[in-house]
């Protein structure tokens, strides 16, 4: 009877949220609504979980087991299809629970150029494909501006699942998903990687410097199987949608990419 009452109350509570206009959950850890909701430089909300010490220890143990599992599973994959199967079965990252789709990369499997963004947005989550919403349209135009077709590239994200409400991913979420991205790089073996935004740069290069400092500079990424890849970072298209006065800088970065490609041909 107690359980019945509890279920009824939860349903009533959910109905009430829906009536009040709540359209999505934004995390699976309790937060104090009175806590400051800090925002990062891209304008996204930072998660501020209010968890106890025993919960934190349990969570850390869960994350290290999940990370070990992700690395071991990814090692087994030799093709993108195998990797996708492994990713679909992987339950170590709680972002999967709130996302509608698992969005793996797409595009040319022999691509010279790989583009890496942050995470699927609402449109990508709905359609199960990377960069298909407003940011994707802008990205297509950015590529067209240097005569590169989207189909010639391989396009992916650091995270295959949309963080609820597009919040900034946590470091745990980023590190849990990194083995899947590293494996994509190893399989595609691109000559060039274009990193879109701070989160992509931070995760791939393991470097926390601000995107304004590192954009337009060349870096090198070495895969496990010995391939050296030229890496360039630039602003994320979602930032350009909000700050169109930064487009000129991205244009310069794209020209830099184009001339490096020509140099290596
Ligand atoms: N922003 C990203 O970083 N990736 C997408 O796929 C869409 C928007």
pLDDT per residue as tens digits for the range 24-44: 766 655 555 555 455 444 445
The larger pLDDT score, comparing residue 21 to residue 229, is at 229
Q: Where are the domains of the chain?
A: 60-264
Angstrom distances, CA of residue 222 to CA of 21, 39, 79, 111, 217: 47, 33, 19, 17, 17
Q: Output b/e per residue, 84-105; b: 16+ Cβ within 10 A.
A: bebbeebebbbbeebbebbbbb
Mean pLDDT of 233-246: 98
Backbone phi and psi for residue 230, each to the nearest 5 degrees, phi listed first: -80, 130
Residue 151 alpha carbon to ligand 1 centre in Å: 17
The pLDDT of residue 198 is above 90 = yes
Domain formed by 60-264, architecture: 3-Layer(aba) Sandwich (3.40)
**Cβ of residue 119 lying under 6 Å from some atom of ligand 1:** yes
The pLDDT of residue 1 is above 50 = no
The larger pLDDT score, comparing residue 210 to residue 60, is at 210
Cα distance between residue 35 and residue 45, in whole Å: 12
Quick: pLDDT tens for 76-134: 999 999 999 999 999 999 999 999 999 999 999 999 999 999 999 999 999 999 999 99
Cα distance between residue 248 and residue 251, in whole Å: 5
Question: Which pLDDT does position 59 carry in this prediction?
Answer: 78
Residue 236 alpha carbon to ligand 1 centre in Å: 9
């Amino acid at each position: 009877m107690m359980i019945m009452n509890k279920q009824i109350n939860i349903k009533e509570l959910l109905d009430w949220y829906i009536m009040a206009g709540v359209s999505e959950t934004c995390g699976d850890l309790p937060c104090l609504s009175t806590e400051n909701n800090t925002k990062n430089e891209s304008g996204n909300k930072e998660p501020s979980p209010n968890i106890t010490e025993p919960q934190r220890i349990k969570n850390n143990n869960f994350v290290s087991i999940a990370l070990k599992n992700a690395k071991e599973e990814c090692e087994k994959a030799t093709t993108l299809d195998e990797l996708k199967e492994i990713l679909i079965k992987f339950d170590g990252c709680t972002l999967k629970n709130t996302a509608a789709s698992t969005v793996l990369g797409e595009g040319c499997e022999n691509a010279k150029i790989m583009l890496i963004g942050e995470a699927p947005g609402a449109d990508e989550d709905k359609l199960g494909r990377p960069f298909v919403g407003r940011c994707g349209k802008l990205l297509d135009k950015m590529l067209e501006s240097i005569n590169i077709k989207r189909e010639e590239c391989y396009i992916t994200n650091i995270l295959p699942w949309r963080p609820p409400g597009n919040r900034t991913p946590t470091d745990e979420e980023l590190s849990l998903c990194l083995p899947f991205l590293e494996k994509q790089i190893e399989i595609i073996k691109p000559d060039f990687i274009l990193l879109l935004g701070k989160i992509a740069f931070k995760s791939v290069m393991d470097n926390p410097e601000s995107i304004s400092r590192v954009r337009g500079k060349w870096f090198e990424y070495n895969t496990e199987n010995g391939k050296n890849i030229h890496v360039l970072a630039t602003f994320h298209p979602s930032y350009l949608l909000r700050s169109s006065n930064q487009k000129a800088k991205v244009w310069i970065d794209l020209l830099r990419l184009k001339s490096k490609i020509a140099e290596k041909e």
